[in-house]
Amino acid sequence: MNPSSTFRIAVLPGDGIGVEVMQPCIDVLEAAMRRVGNVALDYEWLEAGANTYRETGNALPKATFDACAKADAILLGAMGMPHIRYPDGTEIAPQLDLRFDLGLYAGVRPIRTIPGVPSLLASPRAEAIDFVIIRESTEGLFASRGKGVVTDDREARDTMVITRPVCERLFDFSFRLAEDRRGSGSGKGRVTCVDKANVFASFAFFRKIFDERAARFPDLAADHVYIDAMALSLVLKPWEFDVMVTENMFGDILSDLGAGLIGGMGYAPSADIGDEHAVFQPCHGSAPDIAGEGKANPTAMFQSAAMMLDWLGERHAAPSARAAARLITDAIDAAFADGRLRTCEFGGDADTAAVTRAILAAIDNDTARVAAGGRA
- Provide the binding-site residues for ligand ATP, judged by CB under 6 A: 17, 80, 264-266, 284-287, 289-290, 296-297, 300, 344-345
Q: How many CA atoms lie within 13 A of 48 on its CB side?
A: 28
CB of 253 to ligand ATP, least distance (A): 10
CB of 304 to ligand ATP, least distance (A): 11
Please list the residues that pair with 343 across neighbouring strands. Answer: 350
> Residue 187 or 260: which CB sits closer to ligand ATP?
260
> Residue 171 or 250: which CB sits closer to ligand ATP?
250
Question: Residue 251 is which amino acid?
Answer: G
CB of 54 to ligand ATP, least distance (A): 16
Q: How many CA atoms lie within 13 A of 116 on its CB side?
A: 14
> Residue 17 or 370: which CB sits closer to ligand ATP?
17
CB within 8 Å of 171: residues ≥ 6 apart: 191, 193, 209, 210, 213, 214, 245
CB of 230 to ligand ATP, least distance (A): 19
Rounded Cα gap, residues 311 and 330, in angstroms: 17
> Residue 258 or 285: which CB sits closer to ligand ATP?
285
Rounded Cα gap, residues 113 and 166, in angstroms: 30
Q: Between β-strands 243-246 and 190-195, what pairing exists: parallel, antiparallel or unpaired?
A: parallel
> Residue 339 or 373: which CB sits closer to ligand ATP?
339
Give the gyration radius of the chain's Cα atoms: 20
CB of 368 to ligand ATP, least distance (A): 31
CB of 27 to ligand ATP, least distance (A): 16
> Residue 202 or 343: which CB sits closer to ligand ATP?
343
H helical segments located in 57-161 = 62-70, 94-101
Residue whose Cβ sits closest to ligand ATP: 285
